[in-house]
Each structure stands twice: as structure tokens, then as C-alpha cells.
Amino acid sequence: MTEAEGKVARSNENTWWDWLGRWLNIALAIGAFIALAGTLILWGEGAFEFLLAFVILFPASLISGLMRWWPRRSAEGVRSGLGWRRRLYISAGGLAFAALVCLLAGIAWFGTAPGTMLLVAGTMLLPPAVILALLAFSLRERGRLADQMLTEHEEIIYQAEIHWGVFIPTILVLTATLILVLAPLGAIGFSLATILYLIVLPGTAAQALSVFLNTELELTEDKLIAATGLVARTTRVVERSHVQAVGVYQGMLGKLLGFGRLSFICRDGTSFKARGVVDPEGLRQLIHR
């Protein structure tokens, strides 16, 4: 293929993607409008089903529009990973804006059926917006602590991995929320589901993301290097000879899936923990070897 033919092929591909993106935005917007109309017109389970569709389609149409028309490149160019973080921030912003619109409209029509439905829709959109914003924040660029602390000719002999099992509490909370909503428990079930969804779910998700994406635990011949935390980052660099004791805790799921929590006690009396570590017993033995 010649260079001219390649340019034509890329141009046709861009045109096809632009056409698809334009009609996808229109389809999502129409779907959100229909879902909102169904929510306001129908009653009972039908209204709730249209409400769920509106909660999905309305922010999806906003996010799709922002993805399409938001400036794609900065003056400095796009660094590795910047595109994904930008998409996450746009998604979180779209969800937050959709939640704000629904909440403000619900407050304006408070006491009416449409107002109640919009308040519920805005409330349902808040936790996903918070979780996506935390995810984007946790993926921001920052250097590894080990790269800053290693001396010349010092090498990492072990780098701990964090197990996906740290997300199990979040999965259980989401499952319990769905069960409470679908079970015939009436107002009590909906109240408990609201508490779990608005308070417990974002908290467990933030903790899991903090552990999974921001835990650094590495071992050299002489040092133990550890860093944890999502917003406020705690770092530790300890001489291996100063580690007095290492405790391992594994619950039933931890023993089954092969992960656990390590507790370090240093000779100066300080201590710190690392959660979700794969094969914690093996790492404990390696530290004391």
C-alpha cells in the first residue's frame, strides 16, 4: 500500500468512527429522554425499570458527548497513560454532573412523583461518580519509591503482588445492596440498601483501590521498602536488620485464595501493615532468611 492509499484509508476510518460516534450520542440521548418519560408516566415496577434505564443512559450520553468533543491533545502532547486517566476523569465528571442535574431537578419538584424519581436517580449516580474519580486519582503518575531509595548496585530481590481479593468486601456490599432492593422487605430493605449504597460501598471501594493500586512492598538485600495510601501516602524504608517481627493474618478467604495481611514491628517500636499481599507467609520467611 502506498503512502497516499494509507492516508485515504485512515481518513475513511476516521470518517466512519466520527459517523458512528455521532449517531451513538444521538441514540443515547433519545434513549435517556424516553427512559425519563417512562419514569414520569408509569407507576410501580414499570417506573422503576425506566428509572434504572435513565440512570444508565443519561450519564452515558453525557460521557459519550464529552469523550467526542473534549480536546484530545494538550500542547505538550499525550504522555503514556494520560488518555486513560482523562477518560476516567471525564466519566467521573459526567456521572457527577448527571447526579447534580437530577438532584437539583428533584429538589425543584420535591413532593411530586417526578421529583421523587429524579432524587432517586441522582442518589444512585453519586457512588459510581465517587468511585471513578478515586480510580482516576489513584492512577496518576508518580515515581516508585524504590527507584528513589535504591543505592548504586542495589537490586530488588522480591516485589510483592496485591491480590484481587481486596475487592471482595466491595463485591459483598454491592451484592447485599441488590438483594435488599429486590427482596420483598419494603421500606426497611430500601433504607438498608440506601445506607449500604451511599456510605458503605464508596468506603470499601476507596479502601480496595487504595490497597490494590497504591501499595508498594519491595525487598532488597538490605532494605524493606513499603508505601501505602490513596490520597495521603505513607512511605517506609527500613533496614532488614531493624525488622524485629513480622506477623501474618489470613482469614478463611485469604487462606483459600492465597493472600493476607502482613504486620511489621521494628526495633524502634514503630509498626505498619500491608494488606492483600499474595503469599504473605512466603514473604515473611524471606524477610527473616
Let me know: does 146 contact 216? Beta carbons within 8 Å.
Answer: yes
Q: What is the DSSP letter of 167?
A: G
Identify the pLDDT of residue 77: 44
Q: Answer with the residue of higher pLDDT: 278 or 39.
A: 278
Cα–Cα separations (whole angstroms), residue 138 to 132, 142, 217: 10, 10, 17
DSSP 98-145: HHHHHHHHHHHTTTSHHHHHHHHHHHHHHHHHHHHHHHHHHTS----H
Residue spans of the domains in the chain: they are 1-72+79-141, 164-213, 215-288
Tell me the Ramachandran region of residue 258: left when phi exceeds 0, alpha when psi lies from -120 to 50, beta otherwise: left
Identify the pLDDT of residue 269: 83
Q: What is the DSSP letter of 70?
A: S
User: How much is the average pLDDT of 165-193?
Assistant: 87
Mean pLDDT over all residues of the chain? 78
| pLDDT tens per residue, range 25-46 | 778 778 878 877 777 777 666 7
Q: Answer with the residue of higher pLDDT: 72 or 89.
A: 89
Partners of 239 in the β-ladder: 223
Identify the pLDDT of residue 79: 46
Give me the residue label for grid cell 490497597.
211
CA 11 to centroid of chain Cα atoms:
35
Residue 235 DSSP SS3: strand
Instruction: Determine the Cα–Cα distance for residues 226 and 219; give it in Å rounded to an integer.
Output: 9
User: How much is the average pLDDT of 57-78?
Assistant: 61
Let me know: does 238 contact 265? Beta carbons within 8 Å.
Answer: no
Identify the pLDDT of residue 172: 93
| pLDDT tens per residue, range 105-116 | 888 878 777 777
pTM of the predicted protein model: 0.69
Q: Which fold has domain 215-288?
A: PH-domain like (2.30.29)
Let me know: does 220 contact 229? Beta carbons within 8 Å.
Answer: no
183 pLDDT higher than 80: yes
| pLDDT tens per residue, range 206-249 | 888 888 888 888 888 888 888 887 766 778 888 888 888 888 99
Q: What percent of the chain has pLDDT over 90?
A: 7
Burial 74-95 (b: 16+ CB within 10 A, else e): eeeeeeeeeeebbbbbbbbbbb
8 pLDDT higher than 70: no
| pLDDT tens per residue, range 133-154 | 887 777 666 666 666 667 777 7
